[in-house]
Each structure stands twice: as structure tokens, then as C-alpha cells.
Amino acid sequence: MKKEFEKNQTVLKMIDIMYEEFKDTRIKGSLIQPEKRLKPLLEEDVLKRQKKLKSKKKKEDLGLFEGQIDFEEEQDRLSLLQSEKELTKYLEHVHNNAIRNNDINNQLFANEAKKSLTVLNIFLQKYDVVVTNPPYMGKSNMNEVLKEFINNNYKIANNDLYSTFIIRVMDFLDKDGFTGMITQESFMFIKSYEELRKFILSNAYIYKFAHLGTRAFDDISGERVSTSMFILKKTKEANNQSIFIKLDEYKNSLSKLKQLENKDNWFYLNQTFFSKLEGSPFLYYLPEEIKKILGTNSTFLELFGEAKTGINTGNNDYFVKFWWEINGKSDRNFVPYAKGGGSEKYYGALKTVVDWRPEKMKEYKGCRLMNQNLFFKEGLTFSGVGSKGFGIRYLPEGHIFDSGGSFVNIFDHVDKFYVLGILASDFSEYLLNLFNPTINFKNNDIHRLPAVIDIEYQEKISDNVKKIIQLKKELLSYDDTEINFDINNYLKNDGSINSIVGKLLSIEKEYLLLVEKNNSLVNELYQLSENTISFIKDKVKQSRKIIDNIPNMEDFDEWYGKEGKNVNRLNLINYIEDSNHIPTLILKEIFVTFSSVLIGLVFGRWKIQGFDNIQKDGIIILNNDFIEDVIYELIEIIFGEDNFERVIDEELPLILGKDLLSWYQKDFFEEHIKKEQYQNRPIYWHICSQNKTFNAILYYHALNSDTLYKLKSNHLKPMMENLKGDLSFYREKMRTADDKKSAKQFEKRVVELEKQINDLEVFDKQIDEIIASGYEPDIDQGVLYNIKPLNPILAKKIEK
């Protein structure tokens, strides 16, 4: 082909460009941009033709056809595709010859090349209207070819395929042309789309924008896809008001459709407002008061400090443990580690430690050790993910921080507790949800928050936050998974479990009232009106799915079982105080921890006066003797002799719905490993035979190479021998019975004993297999490493 056009350099260059640009079109689709390289080439060719035409006409006397030269120039300008026509004619010639000669390869070549020219014709045109629903595909799901192409050609929109099409569509539009699109909503708010938003604001007028949110389409269920629908006009001038329609709070496509024309959902504003905001988020539905604050106040980054991302160890399973897995007994360099923490506010979520050996970490792929100059420094930390809201907390000195628990480095001249009060307020949470309406929180989201320093309010907010933190520490000290757990909380009671729970709830109420006070102080600081405060409260409650109203009903416990997790805690505590009734589920939540505390006392994890029955070998046999001789003794010491029978006979059956032995054999371990407790890293291990003839609890921190041998020789073997003795006794009774009825009873007992012995023999064999496998506990490796080999004999398997 090149030989055919060796005298026409324009066609040759066209061939090269088309070959390069149309490569991998099945992957790139209409995102390819051949016209951007071909158009300058064709325009250059037109200029050459026009110059040649003028030169030729000058040598001729046109007479009556004087205006013909202008006409021909205009025709040539309108048809930039003379070279393309020559190429098309040649391709038709190749195709016809290929058919005559039955040459399949040349037929295919000519067909594909002509298709490319057809596409090129489409791309070279400008359009008044372009409408599309582009494909959605995040960067992480793209193959390397597509990812590299998008990074090179659509850098400001390279997070998703849909966002690249917003730019591509603008290429196709003529001046003052319109595009209508349906895309995901993520480009409206989050930091990574900032440049795309600036591009839209600089090159288009947002004519109308419907914010659809989730469930806009019946065939896409759940909360997976949040969508938007909009019309843009290609123009540099955007002086008119834009219309935004807020439909994201309606729960299905039909209700969204019905509400589309409801003017209460319409917001009018000039899009230039977005450019005044840090990151240019499309925060169209803000009250005017908040628009003013965002448009005029300094930012967090300017006045308060900077959020910094922490480390990725490269291998969390090896380096990161809960503090109770190590408990100070390790040859490795474990230090406190701020990692995540969900939506916890003010203080807490400091349960992890990290083996801080940077050189060792660097051996693992994915290791990133950033911002080490801030390690062990006092400051704030927040969770990267919070399904129940933004979690920001005070971080004492001495911690390293994780990529999922960023560190907020507050300027030295600024009060950290003042900043914490602002960040933990409903006002900040509302703004963060605007900046990034997902459950994720990024450093740049924090940086965009409006900041203000007021000496009077700084002192008020700081003092209040310090009181909040102290109360939060008191609340956490009831939890045995907290490093500052205090056993005395359970010893200071009025003779009942109810009194412990009541004390805990009264502390929580005081804490919640101070949290409300913090919100009020922050609202005053930013001079928010009552209407705006009410608006913010409603939005925050919606995002957290909080229920305010508590029904007055007889079956309150049943209602609490369904709605308790979402109920307004302050309202709930007030209701409990007024009704003098604590829901059974709340009592049970505290008892779960209390039952763990009792086991810890038996193993000597904590010590209390008057109790010496400590199991130093780290083995408890779960039977009636243990409950009656050990647990009952503890309950009597903790609640007092006068209250013992009431706790045992009245409180515990009401809370548990069963006796204590059944609780420990059937429920304890399952509760112990839950997320709210030891998070699949238990320190009290319930091992048992398959039919639970034998039940024991092993203490992780007393575990050694002799533990399983001791279990067999000191507990399992004697039990088997006793049962075998009973079996011999009842077999003899059955053989010598005087009547059939007695014989039948003895036979039943024989069958039962045979099953129990068989159960123990299988269990004994399982233990032998674990020992034979070379099981050697190593506390330095953490719970998971040590517990997984025991899965065959655990009451519930721990896999990860």
C-alpha cells in the first residue's frame, strides 16, 4: 500500500497514524482519539492544496469566473478529507481484486480499514447533541493495556471508565452543543476527581443535574451503584443558574421518578460557587449559611495541621497483633499501633501492637514506611472507614500509626483537644459526608474542612473534650479487651449484675451529655442558626440510621432486639431510667464480658482478695464441679454472701435463659470470639470432644509444650477410666437384673456410657495426632498461629 502512495506523504502518514490509533480498539472503544493527530495533518494538506490552487489561478485570465477561486477554496476547506477519499478509493480497489482472486486476507484487511475510515469520519465531525450511558469500570479492574492508555490520554479522569467518557464526549461537541449522560456520582465529590470537576466547570455550563443516588434502576439492587444524570452545554461562559435535583434520598426508581418534578427537590445556584470550595466538590444542596462558611473560612490545612498516612507492613498477619496476644511476653519489638477503629470517637480503639522492625518489613512486597518522623508523637488519629460515621480520636504519645488509621499532626501552637472537639462534632461529620458521601474518609477530606480559631471557644471546647475523654476511659475500663481494664469496676457493686450495668449506663449518660455540649459549642463557634443546626442533626441521624423515638410498649425487649443497635443511646438511657427496666439484651452484653472476667480470675489474669482457687496449669474442666466450687465462689466474693442466691437463682436465669454450665459449654466461646469481644483472637480456648462429653478451657498465656500432655494425663485419662469403671458396673447390673424393666434401664445407661467412652477415645486420638504433628506453641507468633492446629478439637473453628 505504501508503494501505491509513495508520492502522497499525507496518505502515508494517515496510514501510520490509523494503524497506531486503531490498535486494541476492542479494548479502548470510542476512547481512541485518531482525529487529534489526523486533523492537524489534514489541515496542513488543505493549506498546501489552497496555496497550489492560488498559484495556478494567478497564471490564468479567469474573466467571468473571477470568484471561482474563492468557491474552490471553500469547498476544499469543507472537505478536509481529499486524502481520505483517495485512500478509500484504493481500499475499494484492493477489496474488489481480493474478491476476484478469492484472497481472504486482503478482503479482511480492506473491510477493517474501511470501517476505520468510517469511524474516523464520525470522530472528525462536531455534534450539536451527544447522549450516552458510558460503561463503569474502576481502575483496579482494567487490564494493563487499557490502564496505560487511559493514564496517558485521560489523566485527570483515570479513576473509572465512565469519567473518561465525560471528557471524550466534550471532544465530540460543537460549540454550544449539549451532552446528556448517566454516570456514577463519585466524580461529584471525592478528591481524586478534583481535576475532572475543574475541567467541567471551566469548559461547560451545567444546565441540569439530577443526583439519583442508589437504586435508580430496578435491575441494579442494593447500594452498589450510586448514579447521576446530567446535561452539560459546551461553553466557556456559565453565568446562568444551574438546576440540581436531589433524588438520592428516595429509595427506589419509582419514587425518584415521581419526585423529579417536585420543586422542593430543586436547587438553583451558579456553578462558580463550586470553584470557591477546596477541591471544587459539587455541594449543591448546602444551606446558604454553610455555603458562606465554606466559601470564606480558612481550611483545616491552613490553620490546624495536616493528616498523614501511616505504614503498610507488607504482612499484617506476621507483624500486627492485638495487645492481649502478646501481653508483654515477647522477644520481638512490639509497640502500640493505631490501626483503624471504625466510628469510635474521642478516645479508644487502641487494641493493636506492631512488631516495629523496619528492615524486616522491607522484605515484604507492599511494605510502605511513610511519615516516620511523626511516629510516637501525641496527636489525633482517624479511621479510614466508618460505617456509623467519622471516627476521630485522641492518640497518646508512644504509638505508630497505620494506613487505615491516619495521624493528624496538629500545629504546636494549636490546642489538640480543641481541634478534636471540632472534628468529632456533628457539624464536621456532616461536611465530611458532603465531601465524600461514602463510608471512607481521606486525608484530603479533613484538609478541606473550614477552620476557625477563637480563644474563648478554644478553652471551652478543650476543657469539655478532656472531660469526655476521661469518661470514655472509664467506660472502656469495664471491657477486658482494653489494656486499661479495671477489675475493681466489677467489685464495686450493690449486690447485683443490674447495679454494675446501671453504673455503666450512668457513666455513658454523662459522657453523651458532654458530647451534646461539644456539638453545641462547635455550632456556636461557627455561628450556625437553629435552622441549620436542625438540618445538620437530621442529616447526621440519617447517615447513622439513628432512631430517636422509643415506643412505650410491653414487649420493649423484643423491640430493642430488633432496633437496639440504631437507637439514640441518650434517649434509651433516659427511657431505662424512667421505666426502671434494663433490657435483657443490655444485661447480656455486659454479662458476656463478666463471664470472660470470671475465667480470667480463675486463670490468675487478675487477682482479687479472698480468691485463691487459681488454675496455674492453664486448664479448666467445664463441669458441675467447676461451676459450683469455683464460679459460685467468685460470684459470692464479688456480690456478697447475702446476695449470692438472688444472683444465682434470679438474675442469671433471667439474663441467660439457661444455667451457667450450659452457658459456658454452649455459648461462651462463640461470644468470646465475636467482633465485639476478642475478634477471632481468643485467649480462652474451649476445646471439647465431638459430642461434648469432655469440655475444657485452655488459657493461651499458660500454653506450653506440656499443656496437651497434662490435659490427657491429668484430666482426660482419669475421666475415661471412671467411665469405663461405670460401664463395667452397669453391664454387670444389666446381666444380673431381676426383671426386664430394670434390665432395660441398665441397658440404656450402658449404651449411653459406650457412646461417651467412644467420644472420648476419638478425642484422645485427635489430641495424639496434634502432638504427633509437632505442635509447639510460640506466643510470639500470636493467637492464630497457635490456635489453628487445634481446630479439630475447638468448640468453633478459627480459620482467619
SS (H, E, C) 1-16: CCCCCCCCHHHHHHHH
Average pLDDT over residues 685-693: 96
pLDDT of residue 77: 46
Give the pLDDT band (50/70/90) at residue 676: confident
Q: Report the run of H or E that residue 219 belongs to, with start and end.
A: none
User: Which of 96-110, 183-197, 518-532, 549-563 is predicted most confidently?
Assistant: 518-532
Strand pairing report for 173-184 and 127-132: parallel
Tell me if 90 sits within 8 A of 5, measured CB to CB. yes
Q: What is the pLDDT of residues 366-387, one digit of tens each?
A: 899 999 999 999 999 998 888 7
Of 90-94, 236-240, 457-461, 705-709, least confident by mean pLDDT is 90-94
Residue 294 and residue 471: Cα distance in Å, rounded? Answer: 33
Average pLDDT over residues 202-220: 89
Task: Give the three cell numbers for residue 502.
Answer: 446501671
pLDDT of residue 465: 98
Give the pLDDT band (50/70/90) at residue 218: confident
pLDDT of residue 277: 79
Tell me if 317 sits within 8 A of 363, measured CB to CB. no
Task: Give the three cell numbers for residue 584.
Answer: 435483657
Give the pLDDT band (50/70/90) at residue 76: very low
Choose between 748 and 327: higher pLDDT.
748
Residue 681 scores a pLDDT above 80: yes
Residue 81 scores a pLDDT above 60: no
Task: Give the three cell numbers for residue 242.
Answer: 444551574
Give the pLDDT band (50/70/90) at residue 68: very low
Q: What does the DSSP assignment read for 275-310?
A: HHSTT----TT--HHHHHHHHHSEEHHHHTEEEE--
User: Which of 435-444, 489-498, 534-543 is predicted most confidently?
Assistant: 489-498
- Count how many residues are written for the chain: 800
Residue 47 scores a pLDDT above 90: no
Of 164-178, 416-430, 531-545, least confident by mean pLDDT is 531-545
First to last CA, the chain: 63
Residue 437 scores a pLDDT above 80: no
Tell me if 459 sits within 8 A of 552, measured CB to CB. no
Residue 738 scores a pLDDT above 50: yes
Residue 71 scores a pLDDT above 50: no
Residue 247 scores a pLDDT above 80: yes
Average pLDDT over residues 749-768: 96
Choose between 507 and 120: higher pLDDT.
507
Residue 337, strand partner residues: 352, 400
Q: Which residue, among 305, 325, 307, 308, has the nearest Cα to 316 in the 3D structure? A: 325
- SS3 state at 209: strand
Using a 10 angstrom Cβ sphere, with 0-12 exposed, 13-18 middle and 19 or more buried, the burial of residue 797 is: exposed
Give the pLDDT band (50/70/90) at residue 80: very low
Of 75-84, 234-243, 350-359, 624-633, least confident by mean pLDDT is 75-84
Residue 227, strand partner residues: 184, 213
Give the pLDDT band (50/70/90) at residue 83: low
pLDDT of residue 78: 42
Residue 434 scores a pLDDT above 90: no
pLDDT of residue 33: 81
Helix, strand, coil content of the chain in percent (nearest 5)? 55, 15, 30
pLDDT of residue 687: 97
Residue 216 scores a pLDDT above 70: yes
Tell me if 401 sits within 8 A of 395, measured CB to CB. yes
Residue 335 and residue 378: Cα distance in Å, rounded? Answer: 15
Choose between 533 and 27: higher pLDDT.
533
Q: What does the DSSP assignment read for 82-150?
A: HHHHHHHHHHHHHHHHHHHTT-HHHHHHHHHHHHHHHHHHHHHS-EEEEEE-----BGGGS-HHHHHHH
Using a 10 angstrom Cβ sphere, with 0-12 exposed, 13-18 middle and 19 or more buried, the burial of residue 235 is: middle
Phi, psi of 179 (to 5 degrees): -125, 140
Task: Give the three cell numbers for residue 623.
Answer: 463441669
Residue 248 and residue 437: Cα distance in Å, rounded? Answer: 11
Residue 179, strand partner residues: 130, 232
pLDDT of residue 341: 83
Residue 20 scores a pLDDT above 50: yes
Whole-number average pLDDT of the chain: 88
Average pLDDT over residues 280-293: 89
pLDDT of residue 608: 96
Average pLDDT over residues 160-165: 94
Of 61-75, 293-307, 722-736, least confident by mean pLDDT is 61-75
Tell me if 467 sits within 8 A of 514, measured CB to CB. yes
Choose between 93 and 397: higher pLDDT.
397
Q: What proportion of the chain, given as a percentage, has pLDDT over 70?
A: 88
The identity of residue 468, as a single letter, is I
Average pLDDT over residues 780-786: 93
Angstrom distances, CA of residue 300 to CA of 159, 419, 451, 461 = 26, 9, 5, 17
Average pLDDT over residues 537-562: 80
Of 54-63, 474-483, 660-669, least confident by mean pLDDT is 54-63
Average pLDDT over residues 666-685: 94
Which stretches within 397-454 are classed as H helix? 416-423, 426-435, 443-447
Q: What proportion of the chain, given as a percentage, has pLDDT over 90?
A: 64
